[in-house]
Amino acid sequence: MATVTAKDGTQIYYKDWGNGPAVFFSHGWPLSADMWEQQMIFLGLKGFRVIAHDRRGFGRSSQPWSGYDYDTFADDIALVLEDAGVEEVALVGFSMGGGDVARYISRYAAQGKGARVTKACLTSAVTPFFIKTDDNPEGAPPEIFDGIRAGLLADRPQFLSDFNALFYGTNLNPGVVSDGVLAQTLQIALTSGIKGTYDCVGAFSESDFRPDMAAFTMPTLVIHGDADSVVPIAPTGAAAHKLIPHSVFKVYEGAPHALTTTHKDRYNADLLEFLQS
C-alpha cells in the first residue's frame, strides 16, 4: 500500500506493481483502482510497470468535503507519479478517468511539468464534452445528471446496484458478466464516499475538455462501444477522435460502457499492441 498527501491534506492511495515501462490507469465513476485489476495483472505479466490510484473521495483514499474538480484531480495524479518516481508514462483513462488524462496532459505534460506522457488511451471516456449545451447538441440532457444526483441522495446503495445494468449492459444482454462481477462492482462503489460520488456527477458531466484536446500531441488510442448507453459514443469517443486527428479510433460493435470487462480479452490485446507499438 502506498499513499501520497495532497496540499489540502487528502491522502491518495495508489497501487504500483511490476517493472518496465510505466502505465498509469485512471478509473471510472463510482469505482476505484480495483476496476483495473484484469488490465494491471495482464500488463504486469507482460513486462510493464502498472500504477493506479483511488481518486480522492473513492476507494481507500481520503473523503474530503471539497476538491472534486479536474484541476485538483490532475494535481493528485501528478503527486502520485512524482511520489512513485515516474518520469515517462502512458496514461489510460476510463469514463470520467478520461477527463483526468486530458487535464493532466494539458495542465502538466503540455507545459513541461510532471512526468512526460508517451502515449494516451481514452476508453469509454467522457471527453471532450459530455453534457448537452447550445454548442454541444449531441450531449446528454442535463436532466439525466439531475436524476443521478437525486438517486444517490434517495438511496445510494440501491441506485448503484441498479446502475450495474447500464454499466455492463445486462439490461440488454443478460449474463454478459457473472454475478460475482456485479457483486464486486457494487462492493467497490460502496467503498466510496457519498459526497465525492455526488460532486463528481457535476464534474464529469459539466467539465469541457475541448480545449484540452489540443495537448494530445502523443500517440493516442480512443476506444468506445457503440452500444454504450452510459456515455454515448457520438459526443464523446467520436468527437474526441475528430479533435485528435492523429488518434486511432476503435469502435467495439455492440459493446456497453464497461467494455474493459465485457470485452476484456479484446481490450487487453488492443491496449498491449498500442503500448508496444
Q: Among positive and negative, which fits the CA dihedral 130, 136, 139, 140?
A: positive
> From the candidates 53, 224, 257, 263, which is the catalytic residue?
257
Whether residue 261 contacts residue 177, with contact meaning beta carbons closer than 8 Å, is answered with yes
Exactly one of 32, 95, 205, 247 is catalytic; name it.
95
Phi, psi (deg, nearest 5) at residue 267: -65, -45
CB 266 within 8 A of CB 123: no
Q: Are 95 and 203 in contact (CB under 8 A)?
A: no
Measured distance CA(111)–CA(78) in Å, rounded? 13
Q: How many Å apart are CA 93 and CA 72, to the nearest integer? A: 16
Active-site residue flag, 228: yes
Q: Which of 228, 241, 247, 270 is catalytic?
A: 228
CA-based Rg of the chain, rounded to a whole angstrom? 17
- Please give the Cα distance from 259 to 124 (Å, whole number): 8
> Which DSSP category does 65 fall into?
S
The yes-or-no answer on residue 162 being catalytic is no
Q: For this structure, is 263 an active site residue?
A: no
- C-alpha–C-alpha distance, residues 238 and 231, integer Å: 11
Angle at which helix 142-168 crosses helix 179-190, to 10 degrees, equals: 140
Instruction: Please say whether the beta carbons of 257 and 95 come within 8 A.
Output: yes
- Which sequence positions are flagged as catalytic? 95, 228, 257
